[in-house]
Amino acid sequence: MPGAGWDALAAAARCAATETAEQRLLLIGDHAAAADAAAFGLQPEYRLCPPLNRLPAAVGPLDRLMKSVQRSWPADVVHVWSDSARVLCRETLAYSLPITQEDPAPYAPALAPLDRAKARAAMGVAPHETAVLLAADRPGVGDARRFAGMVGVLALAEYTVVGVASRSSDSFRRAARFLRGFNRVWDVVPLATPPHLAVSGADIVVYDQGDSLVGDAGPGPRTGGVVHAAAALGIPVITTDSPLARRLLRPLAAELVAPDGTMPEIARLTAPLCADAARRAALGARLRDLLAHSDRPRMDDRWSAALRQEAAA
């Protein structure tokens, strides 16, 4: 899983949660990558840190590691979760193991979450309640405290709404204190599983990447995987403004993108959807059609060339 990014980690988490075959996870990355994997509930059995954090330099170490792994736990197939992993494994493993996902990973289908009934049961949301899910490509990034305030605005306006946010959010404790201050007249439910696996249980997704969302610079971890996963299910996504949001959602920006990025502005966009299920469905369908024709970022050809050069050395 070298250079996987958050989309690929989410896809691997989905596979780990649903696949019945015995599997083991190899993570290629530094301590930050290990922390990201843990945020998605993944526990790699093996981790390889590329020398000087240069992915092409991992060709030799990966080859030696996989030969050792094969002696102790023979695998039948290697499934890769990123473009760079595909190229790297092709150079080191092609002679011994079949490698699936030859084409760049279509992340959105892999992110397809648990079925709606299970997801809503995990959230503790009643059928008549509107579930608003706070999500980001990396679990725990969104500001749960601000989100709790936004849910409060909707609840005090007499919308039947329940907020749902990742328990791993750094700001969830602040959100809990905030809610206690209002005697929990409304609530934000703590979600134990990564939001990617609960998207199908939501009626509306609030996408908040906080300060970690910078630019729309093509391949890399900031690829809007949650947006694509929700859109594939026809769930509308309200988001703070960013270059990525403008690139993905430009035709629907007036209805989905909060220009100033504040939670009151997000509440203004969310309120009409809480009140009208038909409007939610129509907007979700338009978002699905929009993103179905957009291209996901792909690995830069320079990575592929660098990996092949290193393997040939």
| Residue 110: inside a domain | no
- Together in a domain, 304 and 283: no
- In the three-class reduction of DSSP (H, G, I as helix; E, B as strand; rest coil), residue 53 is classed as helix
Task: Look at the chain and report how many structural domains it folds into.
Answer: 2
Q: Which residue has the higher pLDDT, 95 or 215?
A: 95
* CATH of residue 255: 3.40.50.2000
Which pLDDT does position 53 carry in this prediction? 64
Higher pLDDT, 171 or 6: 171
Instruction: Please check whether residues 143 and 77 belong to one and the same domain.
Output: no
Classify residue 109: in a domain, yes or no: no
Maximal CA-CA distance, the chain: 66
Q: Is residue 151's pLDDT more than 90? A: yes
Residues 48 and 73 grouped into a single domain: yes
User: Cα dist. 12→112, 139, 293 in Å?
Assistant: 11, 14, 24
Burial 190-228 (b: 16+ CB within 10 A, else e): bbebbbbbbbbbbbbbbbbbbeebeebeebebbbbbbbb
* Residue 271 and residue 157 share a domain: yes
Tens digits of per-residue pLDDT, 181-237? 988 889 898 887 777 778 889 999 998 865 443 333 333 334 567 787 888 889 999
Q: Does residue 131 sit in the same domain as residue 242?
A: yes
160 and 265, same domain (yes or no):
yes
User: pLDDT tens digits, residue range 227-268?
Assistant: 878 888 899 999 888 777 777 788 898 999 988 878 788 899
Domain match, 240 and 212 both = yes
| Residue of 47, 27, 16 lying closest to 196 (CA atoms) | 16
Q: Are 205 and 199 in contact (CB under 8 A)?
A: yes
Tell me which residue range forms the domain holding 133: 116-292
Are both 274 and 162 inside the same structural domain? yes
Residues 239 and 207 in one domain: yes
Q: What is the pTM of this model?
A: 0.70
Checking if the pLDDT of 278 tops 90, the result is: yes
Q: Could you tell me if 164 and 56 lie in one domain?
A: no
The verdict on 188 and 75 lying in the same domain is no
Are 96 and 144 members of one domain?
no
Contact 267, 153 (CB under 8 A): yes
Is position 58 within any domain? yes
36-78 pLDDT, tens per residue? 787 777 888 888 887 766 666 777 788 788 778 777 777 777 7
